[in-house]
Structure 1
């Protein structure tokens, strides 16, 4: 395996984001072991705004003799390392990224304009199983190529990256194909239907040296970042409990959400409260799930409690046959913070802490201006990460995705018996 060269090190020294990573590289035995701190600054104003507020880049680079893969600790049942690791070699950076949008549904119609607004990225092709839909989408958004042939996207060497927003059941196979064709891939959530599938995708991405991320845009939302900052600053004290809901009575006249495999509430909607709970508390120690599941395995609704160490807990509801309150709240010993509905896309925070008036009367409202349709913060950082040769994004790395999927798998196991 090759040691990082000077150019690789410059990529890292210029990063304006906190990378809590272990980088496996081969190198001479006298290279400093894990724990080396690489100084660096980052002067660009727009990208990674929240991260650039940090005082320095904290990149941990492990340069050691090549270790046997079987010696690494692995995640049970997945074959993945316990800690997120970049492969030994980085992806080649791309200065001007040419993207293809795969899928022309509602989410693509919102996300593609945001992607087109990001510096360093252009959308040059769109794919749909329905050629007429692809053509109409291309005409509306000024995209030069429209096709119903996915192979045409994969075989086009001028296309660097793919945004995949197709039915959930197709995510695994189409992501595999795109990675093996040499494309960087941003996959609409959920990235797959199980932890096993997700782990295989990240293994393929590492092998192909291509960037891969699940499009969990909530974690890049400025309101979500502000929530994390307030918690870190002790505004509500140590977080002790969380509640969240995402339940909407969707029209029942068809669509992939009602069809197995991949249909149901948990994968499409419940992934948000599960991700929120993992972001605040980590991995649960106990999961209690109840819900309604059709004979074909499609889950219609669920109520889930996740229990963590020291008697902390998260409770959430999700479903597609009735409404629940689609806000979320995180509470501690000094107060609580509410994410108004829809919590996964909110631009506001209500802070019930600091005074009796704020707790029981008028909370402190934090309002944040939305960029575009709300996807710009995530897309900007994805474009930047690919430019810098990263294979995963530290705000939503493989380890986080797999942890959420292990919880989802456990919930499904209880619901389906």
Structure 2
């Protein structure tokens, strides 16, 4: 079903969930000129009221279904990831556009099912992989495409931190360091090397299937490779690097939201030479993504070319295989 362009209008957003990520996203929406946050939904009326009052949102709901039936165009889903599939499906089936916090589902099958529902409804759908919209990554692609480090031969990235062992969803069934943190290293590898030809992985997983940590090697033709690791019980280096036949690039700590990279080259005559590239972060860092998604929806697009649902599903194929290898019974999420 075609979607008509509404490029001269404002898009009316509803926020689902009132946690920290929803707070940051809503604050950044205030910097997007053609977007209005007009509603918020939470399981608890008091939470919805408090959130709405804090951000000046006119309408609040303790019933998600009622928000979907209200005067909104699109939803941002910022709830625990075990809920994402059902919440996104409900919105798409109502013809609402969806921007869903990562991970958008628990496995590749869920991702592809959501994509099919979106295609049938004609609604926009995207996982909120803000890293791809980070201005630094636009510069990174320019540097790589210009041949600054030659052919990329390997990617290294990791994200680990010992999160507080509290009552959050992170530690409950469905919690996953791989889906929460590991999705960034795997996505980065896909961005610059594509789909791996084979994968080797090992990790630590609890009896209730919450995976705590993992490390993995993605192998590609011609000896190219990507090394990645993720954990929610220990620190791991949070920088990243891309290495090529003519040099290498390092991305600062917090590589998925970083604002600085360094291009390294080496020659016998000059030794190592470096060039640093810096960008400026807008708000909490989500503004470029929110601006791009809002513009795409108003333009009548059903996905954004920087992060298509096909690309998302391929990343999940890799995540599924890592999960299969680190799980004692050899299964991915179900």
TM-score relative to the length of structure 2: 0.95
Q: Which residue of 2 aligns with 1:293?
A: 205
- Give the whole-Å Cα distance in 1 for the aligned partners of 2:45 and 2:255: 35
Q: Does 1:123 align with 2:37?
A: yes
Q: Which has the higher contact order (CA 8 A, sep 6+)?
A: 2
Q: Which residue of 2 aligns with 1:367?
A: 278
Secondary structure of the structure 2 residue equivalent to 1:291: strand
Residue of 183, 205, 208 corresponding to 2:96: 183
Q: Which residue of 2 aligns with 1:349?
A: 261
Q: Which residue of 2 aligns with 1:53?
A: none
Aligned alpha-carbon RMSD (Å): 1.4
Q: 1:370 to 1:355 in 2, by over 3 A?
A: farther
Does the 8 Å CA contact 1:352/1:359 hold for their aligned counterparts?
A: no
Matches within 5 A, 1:204-353: 204-261=117-174, 263-353=175-265
Q: Which residue of 1 aligns with 2:107?
A: 194
Q: Does 1:102 align with 2:16?
A: yes
Residue of 162, 165, 171 corresponding to 2:84: 171
Residue of 311, 317, 323 corresponding to 1:406: 317
Q: Does 1:154 align with 2:68?
A: yes
* CA-CA distance at 1:254 after TM superposition: 2.0
1:73-120 C-alpha deviation (Å, 9 max, x unpaired) = xxxxxxxxxxxxxxxx42233422110010111111111111222121
Secondary structure of the structure 2 residue equivalent to 1:163: strand
Q: 1:356 to 1:182 in 2, by over 3 A?
A: farther
- Give the whole-Å Cα distance in 1 for the aligned partners of 2:103 and 2:274: 34
- Give the whole-Å Cα distance in 2 for the aligned partners of 1:309 and 1:379: 36
Secondary structure of the structure 2 residue equivalent to 1:306: strand
* CA-CA distance at 1:371 after TM superposition: 1.1
* Structure 2 unmatched ranges of 5 or more: none
Q: 1:253 to 1:229 in 2, by over 3 A?
A: same
TM-score relative to the length of structure 1: 0.76
1:10-69 C-alpha deviation (Å, 9 max, x unpaired) = xxxxxxxxxxxxxxxxxxxxxxxxxxxxxxxxxxxxxxxxxxxxxxxxxxxxxxxxxxxx
Does the 8 Å CA contact 1:99/1:124 hold for their aligned counterparts?
A: yes
Larger radius of gyration: 1
Does the 8 Å CA contact 1:352/1:363 hold for their aligned counterparts?
A: yes
Q: Which residue of 2 aligns with 1:51?
A: none
Does the 8 Å CA contact 1:357/1:363 hold for their aligned counterparts?
A: no
- Give the whole-Å Cα distance in 2 for the aligned partners of 1:142 and 1:350: 41
* Structure 1 unmatched ranges of 5 or more: 1-88
